[in-house]
C-alpha cells in the first residue's frame, strides 16, 4: 500500500479491505524512494501517484501482481475541482488526474469509496469499498497540557524532551499546547501532540472549562523576566479539572503545597517526565490533589 503518510483514506477504506483479503500489508510512503518487491507482489496506490513511483512501476510491471488505484474523491475530473484552492487543484492534477490514462494502460484496478463514483467510472469496473471504523485499536487518551503564551518560548523549548519522553513511554498520553507555526514545528516530529491556535481570553476561559485534561504543566526557568510572574496558571490548571506539575520556583511556592494540591519540581526534564507518567496513571491521587486545589484560597494581600 503506497500512501502519502498515514491518512484517513487508508484507514477507513483500504486497510480494512486488505485485512479482509488476508494479505500481508506493507505501508510505503509515496514520497519515499520505491523499494524492490517480490515477484507477484500487489501494489495499491491510495489517492496519489508520484512520477518516481510511476517510473518504477513501468520498469517492474511484469514482476508485479495486481495494480490498484483507490480514490475517495472524484480525482480524475477537472470540472469537479472547480472552486477548490488553486494549490490543491494543482496537487490533484499532478498526483492523480493526469495519471488516469496511464493507470488504465497499466491494467490497474480502480477502487472507490461510493456508489456514485462507481457509476461515474463504470466502464472501469470499479470496486466499491465500504468504510470501517479505524478506532478499534485506539486506547483512550490522557491529555496533559501546557497553555503558555509566546512569551514562554524558552519554557516551550525546554518541554520538548519532556513531552517526547512521556509519549515514548506511554501510548495513552497525548499533549496539548497553544502556539503558532514555529511552535508547531518544534513538536512536529512527535505523535499525539495537538497545537491549538492562540485565542482571545473569553475563548480561552471556555476552552479550559471543557473536561478532558488530567495534568497541567507550569515550567518556569530562572531568569530575570520570570521573577515578576504570578501563579495564575494554578487557577487555569485547576479549572481544567487537572492537577498541576509546577516549577519549584518562588512564584508557585506561594500557592502550591508539594504533593497536596500539586507537585513542585526542580527544572529537570527526567523528574518531570517521571512525575507526569506516575501521576497520570494514579487516578486516586489526582482526585485527592484536585480536591485540595479546589479549596477556597485567602484573597487578602499582605501589607
What is the secondary structure of the chain as a DSSP string? -EESSS-HHIIIIIHHHHHHTT-----EETTSPP----TTEEEEEES---HHHHHHHHHHGGGEEEEEEEESS--S-GGGGTTS-HHHHHHHHHHTGGGHHHHHHTT-EEEESSHHHHHHTGGG--EEPPP--S-TTPPPPEEEEE---GGGHHHHHHHHHHHHHHHHH-TTEEEEEE--HHHHHHTTTSSSEEEEPP--HHHHHHHHTSS-EEEEEE-----TGGGG--STHHHHHHHTT-EEEEESSHHHHTT--BTTTBEEE-S-HHHHHHHHHHHHT-HHHHHHHHHHHTS--------
CB of 53 closer than 8 Å to CB of 69: no
CB of 27 closer than 8 Å to CB of 6: yes
Residue 24 pLDDT exceeds 80: no
Alpha carbon 229 to its chain centroid, in Å, reads: 32
Residue 38 pLDDT exceeds 80: no
Cα separations (Å) of 152 from 206, 221, 230? 22, 9, 13
- pLDDT grade for 37, boundaries at 50, 70 and 90: low
Position 21 scores a pLDDT of: 83
- pLDDT grade for 301, boundaries at 50, 70 and 90: very low
Position 27 scores a pLDDT of: 79
Percent of the chain with pLDDT over 70: 95
- pLDDT grade for 303, boundaries at 50, 70 and 90: very low
- pLDDT grade for 187, boundaries at 50, 70 and 90: very high
- pLDDT grade for 228, boundaries at 50, 70 and 90: confident
Higher pLDDT, 285 or 302: 285
Position 299 scores a pLDDT of: 56
Residue 222 pLDDT exceeds 90: no
Q: Using one digit for the tens of pLDDT, what is the confidence trace for 237-281?
A: 999 999 999 999 999 999 999 999 999 999 999 999 999 999 999
Residue 1 pLDDT exceeds 90: no
Position 302 scores a pLDDT of: 45
Domains of the chain and any CATH numbers: 2-128 (no CATH), 142-293 (3.40.50.2000)
Position 97 scores a pLDDT of: 97
- pLDDT grade for 77, boundaries at 50, 70 and 90: very high
Higher pLDDT, 136 or 283: 283
Question: Considering only 23-37, 70-84, 93-107, which range has the smallest mean pLDDT?
Answer: 23-37
Distance between CA 242 and CA 286 in Å, rounded?
Answer: 8
Q: Using one digit for the tens of pLDDT, what is the confidence trace for 102-159?
A: 999 999 999 999 999 999 999 999 999 999 999 887 888 999 999 988 778 999 999 9
The DSSP bridge pattern shows strands 142-146 and 213-218 to be parallel
- pLDDT grade for 185, boundaries at 50, 70 and 90: very high
Q: Is the torsion defined by CA of 119, 121, 127, 131 positive or negative?
A: negative
CB of 43 closer than 8 Å to CB of 37: yes
Cell of 9: 483514506
Residue 43 pLDDT exceeds 70: yes
The overall average pLDDT reported for the chain is: 92
Question: Taking residues 199-226, what's their average pLDDT?
Answer: 92
Amino acid at each position: 500500500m503506497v500512501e502519502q503518510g498515514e491518512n484517513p483514506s487508508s484507514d477507513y477504506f483500504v486497510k480494512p479491505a486488505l485485512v479482509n483479503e488476508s494479505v500481508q500489508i506493507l505501508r510505503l510512503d509515496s514520497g519515499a524512494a520505491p523499494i524492490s518487491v517480490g515477484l507477484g507482489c500487489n501494489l495499491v496506490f491510495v489517492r496519489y501517484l508520484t512520477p518516481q513511483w510511476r517510473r518504477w512501476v513501468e520498469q517492474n510491471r511484469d514482476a508485479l501482481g495486481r495494480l490498484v488505484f483507490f480514490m475517495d474523491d472524484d480525482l480524475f475530473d477537472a470540472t469537479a475541482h472547480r472552486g477548490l484552492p488553486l494549490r490543491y487543484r494543482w496537487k490533484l492534477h499532478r498526483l492523480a488526474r493526469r495519471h488516469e490514462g496511464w493507470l488504465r494502460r497499466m491494467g490497474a484496478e480502480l477502487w472507490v469509496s461510493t456508489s456514485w463514483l462507481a457509476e461515474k467510472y463504470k466502464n472501469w469496473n470499479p470496486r466499491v469499498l465500504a468504510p470501517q471504523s479505524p478506532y478499534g485499536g485506539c486506547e483512550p487518551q490522557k491529555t496533559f497540557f501546557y497553555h503558555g503564551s509566546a512569551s514562554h518560548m524558552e519554557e516551550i523549548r525546554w518541554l520538548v524532551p519532556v513531552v517526547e519522553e512521556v509519549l515514548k513511554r506511554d501510548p495513552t498520553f497525548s499533549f496539548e499546547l497553544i502556539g503558532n507555526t514555529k511552535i508547531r514545528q518544534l513538536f512536529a516530529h512527535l505523535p499525539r501532540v495537538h497545537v491549538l491556535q492562540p485565542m482571545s481570553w473569553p475563548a480561552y476561559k471556555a476552552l479550559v472549562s471543557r473536561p478532558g485534561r488530567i495534568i497541567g504543566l507550569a515550567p518556569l526557568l530562572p531568569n530575570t523576566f520570570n521573577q515578576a510572574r504570578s501563579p495564575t496558571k494554578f487557577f487555569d490548571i485547576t479549572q481544567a479539572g487537572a492537577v498541576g506539575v509546577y516549577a519549584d520556583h518562588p512564584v508557585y511556592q506561594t500557592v502550591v503545597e508539594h504533593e497536596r494540591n500539586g507537585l513542585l519540581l526542580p527544572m529537570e526534564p527526567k523528574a518531570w517526565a517521571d512525575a507526569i507518567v506516575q501521576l497520570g496513571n494514579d487516578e486516586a491521587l489526582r482526585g485527592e490533589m484536585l480536591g485540595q486545589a479546589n479549596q477556597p484560597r485567602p484573597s487578602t494581600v499582605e501589607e
